Amino acid sequence: MDLAYLRAHPEHLPTFLTHQRIRETPVSGGEICAASRLTLDDGHSVFAKTWPERAGRPAPAGFFATEAAGLRWLRETGTVAVPEVVVALPELLALDWVESGEPTAEAAERFGRELAGLHRAGAPAFGAEWTGFIGALPQDNTPDPGPWSEWFARRRLLPYLRMSVDDGALGAKEAGLVEELIDRIGEFGGDEPPARIHGDLWRGNVLWGADDRVWLIDPAAHGGHRETDLAQLALFGGPPHLDRIMAAYREEWPLADGWRERMPLHQLHVLLVHSSLFGTAYRDAVAGAAHLALSGVRRATVDG
């Protein structure tokens, strides 16, 4: 099987793998999927993801189709580097292989400009036309005209707050902070038309390529607020050269006043997802982000 055959007959890939007709080398695939590098007969490689057997259940319906749709939607802008989808089947996803390299300041600056270009491509609405997932959790992508603040509260904060409270990950104190933030979300400002965003842009989903470009992987792509991608990028320590990325982005497309104060608000979405997935380990992080966001809006109210 070579790349041309695989593109023409993607449905045959599982059979070739089952009968060990393709050289398969396990690689790191993140916290959810099993991943491997597949070397084809023409020497070309692809990155394959499958739902792990250890999960004890099949992949959620539409799981790999959603990722494929998001990758294609981001890639079609011709801005930031996104791997080509080679195979998208219910049980697996295969992407063109990206050779990893070292982070450089030049690549970071280019990425900042390209990310601004991606966001500028826009979206017809908040949400998307495909089923949503973030990690292994469902995410409501029902298209919505906005405004952004109301949509973000209803579709990106409330569902994971409820999940975290129901599972005991958050207590009354933390839930109260998030609920106050949701009640006051209209006071944060910064509403913009929907941007085309990656949607889960933490440092683990940023791949530094040997071609001196930054590649985006594992998206939860949808129409959202561009500040969400930037805020997520700063979480968990951020990627190398984050200051260069941000400076290049802002030079290409300046951010609205108050964007720094809104960063914790945007980060709260991912932190609530983590508390839904991993329990009380993220309780303090959720409370800290909510408190920081509320402090900013309270200051603005007093100053105003």
Query: Are 213 and 83 within one domain?
Result: no
The backbone torsions φ and ψ at residue 131, rounded to the nearest 5 degrees and listed phi first, read -60, 145
pLDDT > 90: what percent of the chain? 87
pLDDT tens-digit map of 148-163: 999 999 999 999 999 9
Counted domains in the chain: 2
Query: Are 211 and 282 within one domain?
Result: yes
From 88, 97, 100, select the one nearest 23 (Cα to Cα): 97
Here the CATH number for the domain that contains residue 244 is 3.90.1200.10
Q: What's the pLDDT at 303?
A: 47
Query: Are 51 and 116 within one domain?
Result: no
The answer to whether residue 300 scores a pLDDT higher than 70 is no
Query: Are 75 and 202 within one domain?
Result: no
Tell me which of 96, 126, 143 is where a domain ends. 96
Query: Are 222 and 292 within one domain?
Result: yes
Q: Are strands 85-89 and 92-96 parallel, antiparallel or unpaired?
A: antiparallel
Q: 171 or 303: which carries more pLDDT confidence?
A: 171
Q: What's the pLDDT at 28?
A: 80
pLDDT tens-digit map of 130-187: 999 998 899 999 999 999 999 999 999 999 999 999 999 999 999 999 999 999 999 9
- Kindly give, in sequence order, each residue whose CB lies less than 8 Å from that of residue 91, ignoring residues fewer than 6 positions away: 14, 50, 51, 58, 59, 64
Q: Which residues of 173-204 are buried (b: 16+ CB within 10 A; e: fewer)?
A: ebbebbbbbbebbeebebeebbbbbbbbbbee
Task: Please tell me the number of Cα atoms within 13 Å of 296 on its side-chain side.
Answer: 19
Tell me which of 41, 69, 96 is where a domain ends. 96
From 55, 75, 58, 79, select the one nearest 67 (Cα to Cα): 75
Specify the amino acid at residue 164.
S
**Residue-range definition of the domain harbouring residue 185:** 105-303
pLDDT > 70: what percent of the chain? 96
Query: Are 58 and 189 within one domain?
Result: no
The answer to whether residue 296 scores a pLDDT higher than 80 is no
Q: What's the pLDDT at 220?
A: 97
Query: Are 62 and 128 within one domain?
Result: no
Average pLDDT over residues 271-297: 95
pTM equals 0.94
pLDDT tier, 304 (very low <50, low <70, confident <90, very high otherwise): very low
Euclidean distance between CA atoms 194 and 144, whole angstroms: 10
